[in-house]
Amino acid sequence: MSGQRPVALVTGASRRIGAAIARRLHAGGYDLALHHRRDDDRMDALCAELESVRAGSTLELRADLADLDALPLLVADTVARYSRIDALINNAAAFFPTPIGHATAAQWDALFAANARAPFFLAQAAAPHLAATGGAIVNLVDVYAERPLKDHAIYCMAKAALLMLTQALAKDLAPKVRVNAIAPGVVLWPEGDHDAARHAKLLANTALGRAGEPDDVAAAAFYLLADARYTTGEVLHVDGGRKLAI
């Protein structure tokens, strides 16, 4: 049990940015409910790593976020284990191209389910518990929520919906719950993306001239949860200045 330690529910926590956020929050004193869809080996390894530091500090949750019935259960299981929730980090996402003329309804459903619908219904389920603890929500959006990416119209629309959800929830859940977002730039290349020329072009259009690290996003998440006590409805761009060139 967590006692008086704050508790965070993190979606898509088994790897990449999600795992970095989990490690940073854990180091900052949070106990964790860590969601994944089917990455059992990586999640088992992450939980074992964190448990070796502080026993009883992690809860592994497996669910498909496209399953609406599973969403309130993630919150219920977290509360059953820890008796509280102080933070919800909507990190899990789906990303793939949908060129005009070839996009399908199934692609629409998949992108909106992961990037917009699941964060809404998780926030709805968690809201009473977050209000009880004076907690906060952090949503992972994208620079492309504000500027379009060619051949990714549906993804951009879904992330734009998540950005608006951030602002709407900040108003609806105030004053007890703060809601903010992080818009990463080039931090990790999409899996399977090995286009060196395109990578170089993206970095050339980034003011700092380099890619970021998952820990940069994790530090921003910790700041918004633990330190930004008078901040809500905002989007923190962790993009090395890339937004300036888009």
**pLDDT digit string (tens) for 137-148?**
999 999 899 989
207 — pLDDT class (breaks 50, 70, 90): confident
Look at residue 105 and tell me if it is in a domain. Answer: yes
Residues in Cβ contact with 26 at an 8 Å cutoff, skipping those fewer than 6 apart: 32, 50, 53, 54, 57, 58
Classify residue 235 by its DSSP letter.
E
For residue 195, name the pLDDT band (cuts at 50, 70, 90): confident
DSSP state of 144: G
The residue type found at 114 is: A
202 falls within a domain: yes
Say whether pLDDT at 235 is over 60.
Answer: yes
CATH number at residue 27: 3.40.50.720
Note whether 25 and 87 are within 8 A (CB): yes
- Residue 2 forms part of a structural domain: no
> Tokens representing 186?
């080039």
Residues 114 and 37: beta-carbon distance below 8 Å:
no
**CB-CB neighbours of 74 under 10 Å:** 24
pLDDT at 120 over 70: yes
**pLDDT number for residue 1:** 40
pLDDT digit string (tens) for 147-167? 899 999 999 999 999 999 999
The answer to whether the beta carbons of residues 29 and 5 sit under 8 Å apart is: yes
- Annotated catalytic residue, options 30, 82, 144, 155: 155
Domain that holds residue 197: 7-244
In whole angstroms, give the CA distance from residue 168 to residue 162.
10
The answer to the question of residue 142 being in a domain is yes
Is 1 part of any domain? Answer: no
Q: What is the pLDDT of residues 20-41, one digit of tens each?
A: 999 999 999 999 999 999 999 9
- Number of domains into which the chain is organized: 1
- The answer to whether residue 144 is catalytic is no
